[in-house]
Amino acid sequence: MRLDERYVPYLQMAGLYHLARLNNRWFRLDEPLDVAYQLGLPVDGHYVSGCLTDFHLYIEGGRPAWQWFHELLGVLPPENQVQKFAVNCTWFQEIFGECPLGANEETVRRFALAYIMILLGTQLFADKSGNRIHIRWLPYVARLEEMGGYSWGSAALAWLYRCMCRVANRHVVKLAGPLQLLQSWIFWRFPTFRPTGYDAFSWPLASRWSGYNPGISNKGPRVQMARLQIDLLQPRDFVWMPYSALDVIQVVHPKVLEPRHTMLWRCVTSLIYFAVVEWHQVDRVLPQFGGVQAPPRPALNIDFLMSKDGRGGDRWFPAHLADWHHHWQERAEHILQFDIVADPGPSHDFLTWWH
């Protein structure tokens, strides 16, 4: 689906403009600082949560789902294009693929809302099918002017963590989530895995690899080679601070470096995406912020949250998982303080603990 310049004001309101520019060029583990640099997404803001389907029960001024869909987009999908509360992406692209020339402001807005729903449903929060758009986004696009106030970066990170946890199960064969974020993170931090010939930087930083498309041929040998490279990794083969170089800083959008966003890179708190709750234990990776790594505190066990995905009966998740949502609300009280040093790395105590 092509990015139309007429959608730009709406994408800017939603806080998704840089992501849209990236995916217009490249439609293909991380921390909030990586999400901010790689995808240009806001980190500070409200949690992305609520309920999945019964909006009219929980949201003041809300509508029954399909009534709201029709009011916002001016059309309803046929029954054969709907699977429960998800609409086939092909239908979206057929109806909203290209905004007509000379369209009035209301039509442009409807096409922009559809574009935003596709962007969220297929890029940031894709499921394993990769071809369905869930209607959970209707309350957000209905209040488009407020969308820029949400922490899309932390929500995308929560979903990626959950997808990576699930794919570790030997019975799961597909990985969902914002995979362009994961791939770009690997290329930036592991130089030995980078494809050659991609030396120019642009914003957002994931666009550096916009022309990279290895295809599916020779996939087996590539996987074997990657596993061998992982086995042979040395400490010097990982870049702790890839964004500190001057040529990188020159292309970074200044809004990303606002203190309200950068302070959350060092925040130990919950990451929330509706019923998905993950824990951001950034105290284990201090060298990426220029600090010395001390022995880590015990990891927080949140195994009981792994089975919660919102299915099997809708709920208002800010109330159903209130403690975790409260953690995010109080995030400013849990920002790590540490000294920045010229040569960050593990402390003697950390190495003793490790051995």
Quick: pLDDT tens for 43-57: 999 999 999 989 999
**Domain definitions of the chain by residue range:** 5-23+51-147
pLDDT of residue 75: 96
Give pTM, 2 decimals. 0.91
pLDDT of residue 24: 47
Residues of the chain above pLDDT 70, percent: 96
Provide the token pair at 158: 């929560």
Summarised one tens digit per residue, pLDDT across range 68-104 is 999 999 999 999 999 988 999 999 999 998 999 999 9
pLDDT of residue 299: 81
Q: If you ran DSSP here, which 8-state letter would residue 99 be given?
A: P
Q: Is the pLDDT of residue 343 over 60?
A: yes
Q: Is the pLDDT of residue 23 over 60?
A: no
If you average pLDDT over residues 336-340, what whole number do you get? 90
Question: In the structure, what pLDDT confidence band is assigned to residue 26 with cuts at 50, 70 and 90?
Answer: very low
Which residues sit opposite 269 in a β-bridge?
Answer: 280
**Euclidean distance between CA atoms 176 and 344, whole angstroms:** 33
Contact between residue 43 and residue 34 where contact means Cβ atoms under 8 Å apart: no
* Closest residue by Cα to residue 205 from 161, 238, 175, 249: 249
Question: In the structure, what pLDDT confidence band is assigned to residue 30 with cuts at 50, 70 and 90?
Answer: low
Q: If you ran DSSP here, which 8-state letter would residue 187 be given?
A: H
The one-letter amino acid code at 120 reads L
More confident residue, 29 or 290: 290
Q: What is the mean pLDDT of the chain?
A: 89
